[in-house]
Structure 1
Amino acid sequence: MRSTGSKFLALSLAVPAAALSLSLGAQEAGEIEEVVITGVRGKPRTVQDSPVPVDVFSSEDLENVEFTDMNDIVRTLVPTYNLSREPISDGASFIRPATLRGLPTDKTLVLVNGKRRHRAALVRIGGSGVQGPDLATIPAAAIGGLEILRDGAAALYGSDAIAGVMNFQLKTNDSGGSLFVTSGEYYEGDGSNTTIGGNIGFSLGDGGFLSISGEHYTADATYRGNQYCGSWFCLDPDGAAYDSFIAGGLPERIAYATDPDFLAATASASLEGDVVQPWGNPNAERTSIFFNAGMPVSETVDFYAFGNYTESESDGSFFYRYPYNGTIEELREPDGSIYFPLEKYPGGFTPRFFGEVEDMSLVAGLTSSAEGALGWDVSVRTGESSIDYTLANTINPSMGPESPTSFKPGTLTNTETQFQVDLSYALSDTLTILGGASYLDEEYDIGEGEADSYRVGPYSASDPWGFCSGDSATAAGQAVIDAGSTLDCSDSDDPVYRAVGVGSNGFPGYSPAFSDVYSRDSFAVYAEVNADVGDSLFVQGAVRYEDYSDFGSETIFKLAGNYSINDSMSLRASYNTGFRAPTPGQQGTTNVSTRLPNGFPVAVGLFPASGIVAQTLGATDLKPETSSGFSIGVTGSVGSADFTIDYYTIDVDDYFNAVSTRDVSSDPTAGDAYSNFLALDAAGVAGANTIGGVNWFTNAYDVGVSGVDAVVTLPIDSDLGTTDITLTYGYNKFEFNSSPDGFLNAEAQHDIANFDPNTRFILQANHRIDNIGVNLRGSYWGEGSNRASSSDDSAIQTFGSIFMTDLSLSYFGDGYTISAGGMNIFDEYPDKDSISDYCCGRIYPSASGISWQGGRWYVKAEYLF
């Protein structure tokens, strides 16, 4: 059940959390889950008299959600946590983007056992460029409890804690354990998945523990689309765009789309699914191991350590490549013959993108928390996340017939090492002072891909073999004509003039020019005071100073308080300032592809804001996003029901986003694009004539979010058993506080503010009678809307509200549990597109945080020992 009401908040630093875990090592899991450590520090306080809102979830709460991806578990339980599944989004298909209270995940701090969790290797290209921790690397089997602080806390924990803080507490059992297996499938008959996992505890010495947890997860892909169809190319005679394609499409494309032999060959265009353009969840496999350990080394000092190793692999599709789309084009070979990529891919092809994520961490420290003495903790942590890309079922068009069909585009790696000291001292029963310092070293590595993934092949240029001069054949051209070639230099459509793209098609590799290592270090100190003023008022104040080697320093603070009106009701409020430092990955990330606007290969893409290319065209060095937040709320009890209601507002200045692309051209008639070329050339940029378009991350505009969170819990005991009812409600509204016109078009502005529903609530009932357990959960999402065009104000579709129901039944035997259930048991789907914003067989808004996979069933068996 949800741990609220009389559940205690252990208010101390991460260190006392480690010390606390030692004393809990021999307790049962049900007791461990009642203790939390996030948000305030000092003597233990209840949720009701905490000055800030904290959601507390027990291990049972997490286990009642069938998903094994921690992202999906949190989304299921927290109304304002939004998570999307993006099938065609480069690395974001493998490390999924999420938001809390309408802000990206890099504005939410993630802790494990009270210690900062390292970031994932992926920097999302475009948009907000988010780089946050990957919750999918944290297995549910390892978690004894989860606390979510719904308030800004950067003054307490440092950069990133603008929207809130998540703290995952690892299990601390020193004996016993569990072993479970879960298997399920979607109603559509796809997406079969199996998870095998467990936990085991061992005692260490006198009073110590070692808890080891692991999971292995496999899932097949899902498919929720139609056959590929657009006005430019359509394979579905029943598709909405088929008639316009036949009426106005290129004749050579129409010829293939209506050729029975070609249509039969399209069955092999994709490596997955019955359509050439799959839409759905990717194939996935993940293995995760976590350990948590602690033991006393003296009467007053304890040692602790924990860490993980996670390896996962997923794959997804890119867009379908059809004949004469700029990639599949006829080319003249050196002997004058014609090469057509359909020789390799008779039905066209759909590139397949594979991502192998490796994640590891280790934290160790010593802590002392003897009563009446100075409490201290000294710790060191290191963490690394990497993602290694593979691209298959594609070509490097510029290499022609010599192109391989599989590539290694490169590897991204994020590494962090931190040393930290935390101190606490109780001056009296009512006054506690705390302080500390930390040193953090960060590094981001863009690893070079294999040469063929970025190679500029001969077919990147028109007439690569020098066959033509004007309309006439050269000696070399005449020689191949004499040998039987159909070369016709007077025909501008002859394949000799074709110039095609460079690099592995779909995701070009990182070349040496754009591979590098970016690093920085930072130092922080903080101080905090917590005080009980009389019997009714608790106040908290904190201040923090951080200095970064790459952009300077920030000083922030927080004030919070709780006033008890009576024994059953309290008022609370807080005000905080915060910041988020741009990561080395965001400062250094480059994502450049080669295009051929005039038959000449040029680099187009994202360049570092601090580099000469971007700065010549107007970029400035990145600086921290700064924030201010305010919340006010009431907590109370009515009979056996507990409730909390909080209003909040968060303003973020210098919000991080990518600028629109600045075109560059060496053509004097190209207007602004030519002016950009002249500026680059004058600045001494090497190869300025090989650059075709530049964008970069910048501190773009100011935004604000505001909303209301509410939680109500009601336990009911009767002759029919015990029932715990929980209602959680979240309303969140995103607004621009300054004009984003220079950065976002009308379509993007509308979708950022309106695509995700503002309203969501979750109603859950967990019933237990004798050996039978029933868990019923209903989730509601309000309306959202999508704009399909910046130029057409009427091209806006409102997606209706939706309600999904989950149900599970469990039998608790002697040392075992058997469960069966369903997610979205009534097989609800969001509205389909009605404004033609989605092409290529996609029928649902694939970036939506609302599941568009339909219902699924599962069974689970668990053995306890």
Structure 2
Amino acid sequence: MTRLSALKLSLVLASSWSACALAQDAPQEPQADGGAAIIVTGTRLTGMKAADSPAPIQLLGADAIQRTGSPDIIQSLAQNLPSVQAQAFGSDLQAHNLQMKLRGLSPNHTLILVNGKRRHGTANVSVAGGPYGGSAAPDISFISPDSIERVEVLQDGAAAQYGTDAIAGVINFIQKKRDHGGSLNATAGEYYDGGGRTYAIGGDIGLAPFEGAYLNIAAQKKRKGYSFRGDVNPEATSMVGRYPAIADLPGYPYTNRIAGDPQINQTIVSYNAGYEFGEFEAYSFGSYGHKKARAWENTRNPTVISKTVDPDGSFVAPADRNGNETTVLLYPGGFQPREMIDETDYSFTGGFKGMVGATSFDIASTYGKDIIRVHVENSGNSQLYRDTGFTPTEFHNGDFIGTQWSNTLDLTHQFDVGLAEPINIAGGLEYRRETYEIVSGDPASYYGAGAQSFFGYSPNDAGKYTRKNFSQYLDISLKPTENWLVDGAVRHEHYSDFGDTTVFKLTSRYDFSDAIAVRGTVSTGFRAPTLAEGGYSGINVGPSGISGVLPASSAAAQSLGFGGLKPEKSTNFSAGLVLNPLPKLTVTLDAYHITIRDRIVISSSFYGFRGPFCPAGYRESGAFDANRCNAFNAAAYALNNQQAVLDAVRGALGGEIPTYVLENTNGTRNIDGSVSVQTFANGVKMRTTGVDLVANYSTNLGDWGNVDWSYTANYNKNKVLNVAAPPSTLNVAGAALIDRYSIAQLENSTPKFRATLGAYWSLGKFSANLRESYYSSVYALEVSAGNGPLAGADTRVYAKAAFVTDLELGYKIAEPIKLTIGANNLFNKYPTERSYANIRGPQLAGNSRTYSTNLYPNFSPYGINGGYYYARINVNW
């Protein structure tokens, strides 16, 4: 019970005992459907039950989502489905838009649908490496939890059925269609060890505006506070004697607050409406959301923001300085900048469906847009301050805008040709138009060294990208015999920016009896690169270095030999068993083998200039300085000083690299200077293999109520089979498109084994929900402190295997009102601390800000914040 409050635990246990004592013989809550629910995902057949699906599919009802305690849907999915992993932590812009991955693949490999229609992606692309790098998947935090009737998770490649992004599977959020009743719920919670205080209030209401019509409106308001799980900032402790004001910074000596959750204030409103008349239905659904989020950035020390003044206090321009000036600090104790986003996200769908004779049709149009305005607060532009005597402390750094307009026509017709059942033929068309745009920020945000902590997007970064797509599909499903189902699909897509692709899928299921069936799938798939992956640009010009990301299709990237991105291609195989050995027991076991070619990754940094790598005989101030200048090595020097990269960056900046990056004021080499770039590239061939196990059983205990048992498990292994060579322009000794650290993240950041045992017990007015989850160990590679980037010894940083317990207790105090208390991570389990002997200790002693705050590995599959306790009240009518 590490750091678990005895008082909090006693309250949980006492509430459990009281609830048991108060439970009476009241009506029980609805139980699991045993696979009888009708599904709409992964099949074009009407009326198919989940238990009869030829592909592995899991269902989560609204009650299961709510019982996770967190008002965040990603966390709800990750706690219930072992094949889903939630991102624990993100830096910079990714802190505000955490993603999830299915079967250890990229978030981009899972297609998100709402009521069967494609959801638009976020405009916030991740430029980090590893499994979440390049992710621009839909931000499902803008889907109101109270609008959801159920979630259908298809764990099978489905590109031939739905198009791009469906390599790992499909998650379809089915919204409520009720025309009466409603719900209201309020939740409050906080981490055991402080921070992350959350308040959420939401609900939905069903209306019947007129006969035959339904309108369900849902809304949620959520506020979440910062959390901090970092380490001591060694810069603060080493500099406090020189700058006493450092001790006044919040949290001293833990002044670097970047390790933890951001602050979030979010509002969502959605609707689902329709009018049914005869064989037809006109329908519409949509959502509108607004999010303001703030995340801490790395603390800056007092020497960063200063200007020069005469003894009388007046500012001295750089050209007039004569050595008699005084340095004035804007922030005498340093400062703690924050990054803030102001995001608006909306989506609207209108459609018409029905039957004409024996043919069903569904025609729909969906438009979605995501606008992210990026700001920096409590900061400054050091070079602007030095040059003009003035700097803003708040900046508008730029905007990201993404849109998607999808238009679909789906047709289905059945033909009776004398088989066990009529042949079902489905076909359809889709036209989709997407845009991605970067809008430059305030000039002060990118002037000179730019806004501290987050360089603004300049006109050189700005641009708008457009893509059009037209696709057609054909799906044929037939049953040669009563027990044998065969389904085949083929899809052709044409993209305006990279051409055509065709994929197929063949699925079959055979039921030997009511107790046992086998199923399997073979398919090919693809994923079109997102416009953000191809168009993102962010070149940061710092006080002594330039770094950033070149657009893959830009002239600068092409000059290095990269060129534009092409689609990823995949081959999927799966085979499974469906068992019903007992009336209330269902078991499914499905193995999968996925190979992805040309997977898009963000490259390693390629250097055009790196001051510490010096040629033979180099002198600094007249003498060779072995401590600051690496001894000459021809390969290392060539790798870190490539003229092609220097020229590409010069072109991306409009033709000039600031002299101060390359040289000191006396004209000698700037030992601390560097110029480097990255870009997205089709760089990796990967293989993912695994097994999914799902078991459900219901137990009637008579006077002791009913228990619904569930056991879900996933074995998953990712392997990088091949890494493409860098372009010949950059293919010098030691160059690699991605390094071993990125490979380790791709292969080892997903638990190889994850399992969850769940029990939901209902007894009269009382209910209890228990989940016990197991996570096998994961690890990443880091360089041991004290070693250089090329010669340093690699150290594995582990998040060791762990059991995590979730418990929720509920009691109906009246028919419409239910009170609930619970805890996620009941026993306050934290991931393994990063090694003090090999990494943190030497880094703390060496005054290294970059790693000093990472007390826990940020790739932990169950987070870095420890336990979370909450209370909730539900009113249903």
TM-score category, normalised to shorter length? 0.7 to 0.9
Contact 1:5–1:46 (Cα < 8 Å) also in 2: no
Alignment-mate amino acid for residue 839 of structure 1: Y
**1:384 matched to 2:369:** yes
C-alpha deviation, 1:330, in angstroms: 6.7
C-alpha deviation, 1:661, in angstroms: 2.6
CA distance in 2, matches of 1:750, 1:278: 24
Contact 2:607–2:646 (Cα < 8 Å) also in 1: no
Corresponding residue for residue 117 of structure 2: 115
Alignment-mate amino acid for residue 528 of structure 2: A
The equivalences for 1:8-47 within 5 A come to 8=36, 34-47=37-50
Among candidates 635, 638, 645, match of residue 589 of structure 2 = 645
**1:292 matched to 2:272:** yes
Corresponding residue for residue 756 of structure 1: 750
Pair 716,791 (structure 1): closer, same or farther in 2 beyond 3 Å: farther
CA distance in 2, matches of 1:814, 1:799: 45
Contact 1:375–1:423 (Cα < 8 Å) also in 2: yes
Corresponding residue for residue 448 of structure 1: 440
Alignment-mate amino acid for residue 602 of structure 2: A
Corresponding residue for residue 4 of structure 2: none
Corresponding residue for residue 74 of structure 1: 77
**1:434 matched to 2:426:** yes
C-alpha deviation, 1:528, in angstroms: 0.4
**1:624 matched to 2:567:** yes
Alignment-mate amino acid for residue 820 of structure 1: I
Pair 441,3 (structure 1): closer, same or farther in 2 beyond 3 Å: farther
C-alpha deviation, 1:145, in angstroms: 0.3
CA distance in 2, matches of 1:853, 1:684: 40
Among candidates 227, 238, 259, match of residue 279 of structure 1 = 259
SS at match of 1:316: strand
Corresponding residue for residue 687 of structure 1: 655
Corresponding residue for residue 296 of structure 2: 317
- Structure 2 alignment gaps of length 5 or more: 1-28, 310-315, 616-636, 662-674, 726-735, 784-789, 841-849
Q: Deviations over 1:399-426 (max 9, x none)?
A: 1231111101011011011111110001
Corresponding residue for residue 555 of structure 1: 502
Pair 142,685 (structure 1): closer, same or farther in 2 beyond 3 Å: closer
Pair 753,268 (structure 1): closer, same or farther in 2 beyond 3 Å: closer
**1:786 matched to 2:760:** no
Alignment-mate amino acid for residue 73 of structure 2: M
**1:185 matched to 2:190:** yes
Corresponding residue for residue 804 of structure 1: 804
Corresponding residue for residue 584 of structure 1: 531
Q: Deviations over 1:30-52 (max 9, x none)?
A: xxxx3321111214333333111
Contact 2:243–2:332 (Cα < 8 Å) also in 1: no
Pair 559,316 (structure 1): closer, same or farther in 2 beyond 3 Å: same
Pair 553,122 (structure 1): closer, same or farther in 2 beyond 3 Å: same
SS at match of 2:742: helix
CA distance in 1, matches of 2:854, 2:860: 13
Pair 666,195 (structure 1): closer, same or farther in 2 beyond 3 Å: closer
Q: Deviations over 1:782-817 (max 9, x none)?
A: 111222127455512333211111111111221111
Corresponding residue for residue 707 of structure 1: 690
SS at match of 2:722: coil
Pair 794,94 (structure 1): closer, same or farther in 2 beyond 3 Å: closer
Q: TM-score, normalised by structure 1?
A: 0.84
The equivalences for 1:373-522 within 5 A come to 373-400=358-385, 401-428=389-416, 429-456=421-448, 502-522=449-469
C-alpha deviation, 1:740, in angstroms: 5.8
Alignment-mate amino acid for residue 505 of structure 1: Q
**1:853 matched to 2:833:** no
Q: Deviations over 1:688-719 (max 9, x none)?
A: 65694332111012111111100000100122
CA distance in 2, matches of 1:698, 1:259: 46
CA distance in 2, matches of 1:539, 1:572: 10
C-alpha deviation, 1:678, in angstroms: 8.1
Contact 1:2–1:57 (Cα < 8 Å) also in 2: no
Among candidates 197, 215, 220, match of residue 215 of structure 1 = 220
Q: Deviations over 1:202-232 (max 9, x none)?
A: 1132221000000001111112223212xxx
Q: Deviations over 1:791-847 (max 9, x none)?
A: 455512333211111111111221111111111111111111114268223211123
The aligned length equals 760
Q: Deviations over 1:322-361 (max 9, x none)?
A: 244xx356757426364646x3212111211111221100
Q: Deviations over 1:554-586 (max 9, x none)?
A: 000000000111111100000110100012221
- Structure 1 alignment gaps of length 5 or more: 9-33, 236-253, 457-501
The equivalences for 1:702-781 within 5 A come to 702-719=685-702, 720-739=704-723, 742-781=736-775
Corresponding residue for residue 656 of structure 1: 600
Alignment-mate amino acid for residue 86 of structure 2: L
SS at match of 1:303: strand
Contact 1:268–1:347 (Cα < 8 Å) also in 2: no
Contact 1:187–1:854 (Cα < 8 Å) also in 2: yes
Pair 42,351 (structure 1): closer, same or farther in 2 beyond 3 Å: same
Alignment-mate amino acid for residue 391 of structure 1: V
Contact 1:277–1:840 (Cα < 8 Å) also in 2: no
Pair 683,226 (structure 1): closer, same or farther in 2 beyond 3 Å: closer
CA distance in 1, matches of 2:308, 2:571: 59
C-alpha deviation, 1:265, in angstroms: 3.2
Corresponding residue for residue 11 of structure 1: none
Bigger shift: residues 682-691 or 846-855: 682-691
Contact 1:5–1:47 (Cα < 8 Å) also in 2: no
Contact 1:4–1:56 (Cα < 8 Å) also in 2: no
Among candidates 320, 342, 345, match of residue 359 of structure 1 = 345
Contact 1:811–1:818 (Cα < 8 Å) also in 2: yes
C-alpha deviation, 1:136, in angstroms: 0.9
Alignment-mate amino acid for residue 359 of structure 2: L
Pair 656,522 (structure 1): closer, same or farther in 2 beyond 3 Å: same
Alignment RMSD: 2.5
Q: TM-score, normalised by structure 2?
A: 0.83
C-alpha deviation, 1:85, in angstroms: 2.8
SS at match of 2:852: coil
Corresponding residue for residue 24 of structure 1: none
Bigger shift: residues 71-80 or 157-166: 71-80
Among candidates 135, 144, 147, match of residue 140 of structure 2 = 135
Alignment-mate amino acid for residue 343 of structure 2: V
Alignment-mate amino acid for residue 797 of structure 2: Q
Corresponding residue for residue 101 of structure 1: 103
C-alpha deviation, 1:677, in angstroms: 6.0
SS at match of 2:506: strand
Contact 1:228–1:277 (Cα < 8 Å) also in 2: no
CA distance in 1, matches of 2:327, 2:871: 50
C-alpha deviation, 1:59, in angstroms: 1.1
SS at match of 1:664: strand
CA distance in 1, matches of 2:412, 2:526: 24
SS at match of 2:261: coil
**1:836 matched to 2:820:** no
Bigger shift: residues 191-200 or 538-547: 191-200
Pair 512,805 (structure 1): closer, same or farther in 2 beyond 3 Å: same
Contact 2:778–2:799 (Cα < 8 Å) also in 1: yes
Q: Deviations over 1:264-323 (max 9, x none)?
A: 333489xxx963434211111111111000102x42221000000011111111112124
CA distance in 1, matches of 2:873, 2:332: 47
Q: Deviations over 1:153-212 (max 9, x none)?
A: 000000010000000001111011011111112222332211111100111322210000
